[in-house]
Amino acid sequence: MKSMVILGIILIVALMTGTYLALGNSFSFGKDSTNDLTMLAVLLLLVIVVFVVLKYINQIKHDKATGDLLEGDWDGIGEYKNPIPIGWGLAFIVSIIWMIWYITLGYPLDAFSQIGQYNQETITYNKKFESKWKNLDEQTLKSMGESIFLVQCTPCHGDDAEGINGKAQNLTHRISKASVVDMIEHGGNNFKDKFPGGMPPKMLSDATQINAVATYVAGGFKGQVPGAWAVCSSCHGDKGKGSPFVGPDLRAYSDAFVATVLTDGKKGEIGIMPSFKDRLNPIQMKALAHYIRTLGE
Ligand code: HEC
Ligand code: HEC
């Protein structure tokens, strides 16, 4: 025990010295009574802590337990009958009372919540947005489309929508000759929901025919209709106006086609267009289609 007390005193001196050094120049005895008092309190606390700890270590070492054992024996280890400590018992009862108060009065389930308020406000604003943008005129749609395009689409399609070094489709006119040729060669099945059958590859093999059809389509379906167009019109309709579920409109970027590209993304001759499904709502998609249609004018 004696050696422990000596150890305790050494510990106290060491901690006090540490405290003193840590406080550095800002501390000197006798100058500031608040500082002196603080130091005294530190000393007192240390003494109490060290000696209380020593007391318990001593108790662990030497105490012999007394009292009645509970029934039962766990591999030779018994358990004493201990009364519940009063403090613990009180804390237990108080916490039960507090819990009942908390659930019923403090924060009942239907009380105000920030998340609830946020959701409510979101619903209100969405409604407001929907009614405000329900029937937009042509001009508003176009400028809305333009501003979205400048932010979301120009990185790939370019400021003037002419495509950047062929890295994304030129959107200023509906179909280029090259993309018709590519489509005839490779076909495509990007839009499984809208056009389940897709377009089969190698629809034509004769180079003259391919050229004639490509010129006709890219030229906006004007002039003499090439004979081979019959192969295409079964799906793309007369003059490429498209037909539901089998082939898209090839004349202009329809609302439906742009929305489909934006929702599904598109893997094509040049690269991959990512899906914007979660980033744009239907009105914004419509606005983009309106804007894109004005590009060629
Ligand atoms: C069996 C129906 C079918 C036939 C026949 C067909 N197409 Fe298609 N075509 C489609 C479908 C579906 C798509 C959209 C598929 C995609 O883009 O992945 C498409 C897409 C296209 C596109 C690209 C449109 C775009 O903007 O992405 C072009 C160009 C095209 N077809 C031209 C032709 C030509 C020219 C012919 C005739 C040689 C032809 N198609 C025959 C169904 C058909
Ligand atoms: C990460 C680059 C990228 C971004 C961003 C992007 N696109 Fe595209 N987009 C492409 C590529 C690549 C293609 C061509 C796919 C192909 O080869 O047919 C394409 C094709 C398209 C097509 C179909 C063209 C056609 O004739 O079939 C439309 C319409 C389109 N993009 C509109 C948009 C709009 C609107 C935005 C902005 C919301 C946008 N894109 C943003 C890369 C992009």
Identify which ligand lies nearest to the alpha carbon of 260: 2
Identify which ligand lies nearest to the alpha carbon of 226: 1
State pLDDT tens for residues 84-131.
889 999 999 999 999 999 888 887 777 788 888 999 999 999 899 888
Of 142, 154, 157, 283, best ligand 2 pocket probe by most atoms within 8 Å of the beta carbon: 157
| Nearest protein Cα to ligand 1, atom 2 | 235
Task: Tell me how far apart the alpha carbons of residues 297 and 285 are, in angstroms, rounded to a whole number.
Answer: 20
pLDDT of residue 26: 62
Task: Tell me how far apart the alpha carbons of residues 231 and 27 are, in angstroms, rounded to a whole number.
Answer: 97
State pLDDT tens for residues 49-79.
988 998 998 888 888 878 888 888 888 888 8
| Nearest protein Cα to ligand 1, atom 32 | 180
Q: Is 273 in the pocket of ligand 1 (CB under 6 A)?
A: no
Task: Tell me how far apart the alpha carbons of residues 86 and 94 are, in angstroms, rounded to a whole number.
Answer: 12
Q: Do the Cβ atoms of 185 and 202 come closer than 8 Å?
A: yes
pLDDT over 80 (residue 29): no
State pLDDT tens for residues 168-194.
778 887 888 888 998 999 898 888 888
pTM above 0.85, yes or no: no
